[in-house]
């Protein structure tokens, strides 16, 4: 079976890590027709926008996309390509698996949990305004529909992956209406899943507990802002953003992407670690039903990491992006 998949190379190191990922996926033998479209800094000058309608239409048509990092200006300009894509395509669930690897120098071993982050509202809805010249207001939007949808997704994910516990993160002790509604929805959905343990933890306590004992968690569900912050904190537990994949899932469209930035300082230097992008590609393969190909890549990555000389420089190794890619393909073939 052939798959039509949108490929966005992105900015900075994006083309390097996405080319690496494409080569590795192609080496599995899965038949993919990559529809390459441009978004980000490269299209601003030519088309006046970092997100041309052509890109959105490609993702709507193909239903699956693999996307590189895209730079978001700080404090001015286009708000966020990532947020715009999620809102336009209604990609309501951001999924961040957090897994430690043998041989990688990380704070914790045996880490294996998933963060499920609501993706469409909260403070990230971008509803904000100035109040005179000396104050700014951002509006935190939490709705029952979105909260129940993301909580049910978390429980279904827990069920399908045969995990045992869902942990809901909130700050309802302070934000009694907005976070209170999210918590209420989580409690309601939990009653539908009698076989899955449910717990609720205040977000600041959750940050501490993740640093102390991340092995205690299976699936963590959170509103947009908390999920974003805890996702990066969790990546730090296993060796950094370079090892953390991500996916944005909607009702019938899914976009997979590395969670790190575009790293313009190392662009074109063959120094980028493509692991986050590769693992995002693994998530994509599982999503389209190519589990055997996904497993082949996961095993090859794990075997590659075991030899410290076969890692990229940021992980204490000696290999560049291209050399690391070839080593992973070599281990797949073995």
pLDDT for 126:
79
Q: Give the pLDDT confidence of 31-79 residue by residue, as tens digits.
A: 999 999 999 888 887 888 889 999 999 999 999 999 999 876 554 556 6
| Cβ-proximal residues to 6 (8 Å cutoff; 6+ apart), any chain | 35, 37, 55, 58, 59, 62, 64, 65, 66, 67
Domain boundaries, the chain: 1-99+241-334, 107-112+126-238
Determine the Cα–Cα distance for residues 285 and 329; give it in Å rounded to an integer: 16
DSSP3 helix / strand / coil % (the chain, rounded to 5): 45, 20, 35
pLDDT for 74:
55
**Greater model confidence, 281 or 126:** 281
Mean pLDDT of 154-172: 97
250 pLDDT band (50/70/90 cuts)?
A: very high
Percentage of residues in the chain having pLDDT higher than 70: 98
Burial 112-127 (b: 16+ CB within 10 A, else e): ebbbbbbbbbbbbbee
pLDDT for 1:
82
Tell me what the pLDDT averaged over the chain comes to.
Answer: 94
Helix (H) or strand (E) holding 248: strand 245-249
Q: Give the pLDDT confidence of 212-241 residue by residue, as tens digits.
A: 999 999 999 999 999 999 999 999 999 999
Phi (first) and psi of residue 171, to 5 degrees:
-140, 45
Percentage of residues in the chain having pLDDT higher than 90: 83
Mean pLDDT of 292-311: 93
Assigned fold of 107-112+126-238: Rossmann fold (3.40.50)
Query: Which of these CATH numbers, 1.10.287.70, 3.20.20.70, 3.40.718.10, 3.40.50.2000, describes 1-99+241-334?
Result: 3.40.718.10
Mean pLDDT of 137-159: 97
Mean pLDDT of 4-24: 97
Q: Which residues are catalytic?
A: 124, 171, 204, 228
Q: Is the pLDDT at 127 greater than 70, yes or no?
A: yes
Q: What is the DSSP string of 48-83?
A: S-SS-HHHHHHHHHHSEEEE------SSSSS--HHH
């Amino acid at each position: 079976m052939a798959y039509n998949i949108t490929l966005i190379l992105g900015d900075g190191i994006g083309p390097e890590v996405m080319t690496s990922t494409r080569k590795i996926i192609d080496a599995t033998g899965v038949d993919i027709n990559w529809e390459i479209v441009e978004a980000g800094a490269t299209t601003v000058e030519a088309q006046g926008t970092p997100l041309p309608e052509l890109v959105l239409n490609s993702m709507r048509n193909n239903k699956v996309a693999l996307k590189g990092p895209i730079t978001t200006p700080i404090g001015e300009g286009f708000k966020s390509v990532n947020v715009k894509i999620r809102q336009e395509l209604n990609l309501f669930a951001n999924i961040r698996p957090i897994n430690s690897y043998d041989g990688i120098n990380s704070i914790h071993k045996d880490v294996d949990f998933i963060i499920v982050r609501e993706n469409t509202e909260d403070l990230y809805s971008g509803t904000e305004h100035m109040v005179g010249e000396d104050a700014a207001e951002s509006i935190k939007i939490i709705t029952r529909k979105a909260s129940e949808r993301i909580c049910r997704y978390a429980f279904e994910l827990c069920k399908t992956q045969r995990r045992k516990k869902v942990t809901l993160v909130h700050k309802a002790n302070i934000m009694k209406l907005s976070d209170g509604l999210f918590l209420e929805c989580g409690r309601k959905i939990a009653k539908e899943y009698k076989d899955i343990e449910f717990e609720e933890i205040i977000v600041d306590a959750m940050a501490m507990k993740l640093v102390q004992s991340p092995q205690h968690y299976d699936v963590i569900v959170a509103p947009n802002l908390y999920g974003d912050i805890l996702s990066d904190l969790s990546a730090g537990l296993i060796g950094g953003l370079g090892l953390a994949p991500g996916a944005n899932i909607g009702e019938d469209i899914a976009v997979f992407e590395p969670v790190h930035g575009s790293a313009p300082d190392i662009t074109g230097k063959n120094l980028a670690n493509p692991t986050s992008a590769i693992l995002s590609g693994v998530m994509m393969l599982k999503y389209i039903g190519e589990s055997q190909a996904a497993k082949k890549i996961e095993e090859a990555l794990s075997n590659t990491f075991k030899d410290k000389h076969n890692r990229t420089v940021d992980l204490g190794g000696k290999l560049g992006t291209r050399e690391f890619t070839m080593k992973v393909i070599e281990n797949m073939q073995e």
